Structure 1
Amino acid sequence: MRNPTGRQLRFGAELRKLRERAGLTATEAGQLLGVKQAQISNMEAGRVGVSPERVRALACHYDCADQSLVQALSEMTSERSRGWWEEYRETLPNTLLDLAEMEHHATQLRAGITAHIPGLLQIHDHAREVFRQVVPELSPPDIEHRLSFRIKRQAVLFSESPTPYRAYIHEAALRMQFGGRHVTRRQLQHVINMSERSHITVRVIPFAAGAFPGSGQSILYAYGPVPPLDTVHLDQSHGSALIDAKAQLDKYRVLLDRMEGIALPPRESRELIRAIDQEL
């Protein structure tokens, strides 16, 4: 049996939350549904497919009154097929594949970045230099492999129905020269061009804004079809993590709101990016 993807694990975890809120054990839930306890455990572990009818039956047994959540979970049951990221399954960490899957299914994306240009806005040469700085060092073929994966992730911004994307980028990230002056200038121009697309908003947090909460993190907030299915991706040197606990989701929304509150408006942000470009 193939290992479940991050999204399938999340689906199973949501079923488990519904059962636990109802105060039922897996055995009791199985009895209500007419299946063995192992079947409930496999569903909650994301190891087996679940039909929309079974999701609705479980929600009924669990006295779940949130019909929007039930509908969203029912729609997730038809998504057992694997996406483009599966071709990287044996060569890249699962956390990267889970990130691509999360971005693909998000209804909108919101990022707060202080030290790097967001991955979805990076040009090839900038991203290549980022991967050259990875510890432990990557081989040239591995760098190109990760680069192709990162560029394919950007498809969510270029599809016929692109995902709405908001990014709050600190001025420090814009001034860091990955790949030298010429690459940096092309990268800055790319950010400006992308920010002019109707579904993309880029706002710069200037040095003058001073200290702000969340300044030491790289945050990507993926909105689900309903708030309980939102997910936060944190990218750190020791690896990335997906977070979906309600208290943490609430916290990261506040952090991003605070970043938005001190960031320059879109037009002024583009003017600052152009000024930085002209200084190079």
Structure 2
Amino acid sequence: MPPKRHLTARRVRLGAELRKLREAMGMKSKEAAELLGADSVQMSQIESGVAGVSAQRVRRLAAHYACTDDGLIEALVSMATDRTRGWWEEYRGVLPPVFSDTAEVEHHATALREIVITHVPGLLQTADYARAVYTYMMPGLPGSELIPRVEHRMRRRSVIEGDDPTPYETIIHEFALRVRVADRQVAQAQLREVMERIEAGHATVRVIPTAQDGFAGADASMMHACGPVAQLDTVLRDFPTGTAFIDAEPQLKQLRTLFRKVEKASLTPAASRDFIHRLAKEL
């Protein structure tokens, strides 16, 4: 198959998983290429996501790599044959690739679990809130760049609000709910929006009160996108240098443990709903 014009997160992940299977078998890239009647350059392109790979080749490689996990194999085949061109493709070349890659990962997730400490989650933000965050974090950003950023963030919400919504659970620190990124009116509207998403069944929200004992996870923010099998989970974490897409099993295991620890420090969904309701009345 010819090289892809754009390196998408999904294609890169497929290549990375095929490489993991090859390396676990102790096979060199050249040996794997020979099994496909290809050369080392083609194999490198497949494993880096530059070139696509057919379902037949995925199955052939899995067999040669002695992979017996049928669930994983079928998931990889699905990734190889997927031709989805989602709404996020409209933003390639308009916004940095991470915007489209994030939306793509969210679209294909079987469930989404998120921890946020400093801001209301992007999937629950109002347009005014998102605009205030982008304007503050990127001063001088021209309207031609600000408008598509806010629009993209609003369109991401379709993953939890559409006809076939993805289950979404988020843990929000009280600080994120209280901080006014703009003014009182924007803050009130944002809390109403969170409450409406809860009542509509689009989000399960847990709150970590500032006074809660046993919470030391100020840097715990993450988005955990669950895959069709656990090996294909992805965790997105934002750093000053950019967003990291984490898929190495040791790191995934550590971050799953961190999520459970943070969850233990949060209120129940019912208590969290009441907490947000009281907070809204205070503003």
Shorter chain as denominator, the TM-score bin is: over 0.9
The Cα of 1:6 is off from its aligned counterpart by 1.2
Q: Which SS does the other structure have where 2:51 is aligned?
A: coil
The answer to whether the Cα contact below 8 Å between 1:217 and 1:235 also exists between their aligned partners in 2 is no
1:65-214 aligned at under 5 Å gives the runs 65-135=68-138, 137-210=140-213, 212-214=215-217
Give distance in 1, aligned partners of 2:243 and 2:33.
35
Give distance in 2, aligned partners of 1:183 and 1:228.
40
The Cα of 1:255 is off from its aligned counterpart by 1.2
Find out whether 1:32 has 2:44 as its counterpart.
no
TM-score (norm 2): 0.94
Find out whether 1:62 has 2:80 as its counterpart.
no
The Cα of 1:55 is off from its aligned counterpart by 0.7
The Cα of 1:58 is off from its aligned counterpart by 0.5
TM-score (norm 1): 0.95
Q: 1:230-266 CA distances to partner (integer Å, 9 max, x unpaired)?
A: 0011123332111111111111111111111111111
The answer to whether the Cα contact below 8 Å between 1:213 and 1:258 also exists between their aligned partners in 2 is no
The Cα of 1:200 is off from its aligned counterpart by 2.0
Alpha-carbon distance change, 262 to 217 in structure 1, aligned in 2, over 3 angstroms? closer
Q: Which SS does the other structure have where 1:202 is aligned?
A: strand
The answer to whether the Cα contact below 8 Å between 2:220 and 2:258 also exists between their aligned partners in 1 is no
Give distance in 2, aligned partners of 1:259 and 1:240.
21
The Cα of 1:48 is off from its aligned counterpart by 1.9
The answer to whether the Cα contact below 8 Å between 1:110 and 1:166 also exists between their aligned partners in 2 is yes
2:262 aligned partner, one-letter code: M
The Cα of 1:136 is off from its aligned counterpart by 5.0
Specify the alignment match of 1:271 in structure 2: 274
The Cα of 1:166 is off from its aligned counterpart by 0.3
The Cα of 1:208 is off from its aligned counterpart by 1.5
Q: 1:68-91 CA distances to partner (integer Å, 9 max, x unpaired)?
A: 111100011122443211211112
The answer to whether the Cα contact below 8 Å between 1:168 and 1:260 also exists between their aligned partners in 2 is yes
Give distance in 2, aligned partners of 1:116 and 1:49.
37
Count of matched residue positions in the alignment of Structure 1 and Structure 2: 280
Give distance in 1, aligned partners of 2:276 and 2:20.
45
Q: Which SS does the other structure have where 1:99 is aligned?
A: helix
Taking only aligned residues, the RMSD between alpha carbons, in angstroms, comes to: 1.5
Structure 1 residue runs of 5 or longer lacking an equivalent are none
The Cα of 1:32 is off from its aligned counterpart by 2.3
Find out whether 1:216 has 2:210 as its counterpart.
no
Q: 1:171-192 CA distances to partner (integer Å, 9 max, x unpaired)?
A: 0000011221111111101111
Match of 1:232 among 230, 235, 245: 235
Q: Which SS does the other structure have where 2:223 is aligned?
A: strand
**Greater displacement, 173-182 / 39-48:** 39-48
**Greater displacement, 220-229 / 255-264:** 255-264
The answer to whether the Cα contact below 8 Å between 1:49 and 1:80 also exists between their aligned partners in 2 is no
Q: Which SS does the other structure have where 2:224 is aligned?
A: strand
The Cα of 1:210 is off from its aligned counterpart by 3.8
Structure 2 residue runs of 5 or longer lacking an equivalent are none
Q: Which SS does the other structure have where 1:220 is aligned?
A: strand
Give distance in 2, aligned partners of 1:238 and 1:35.
37
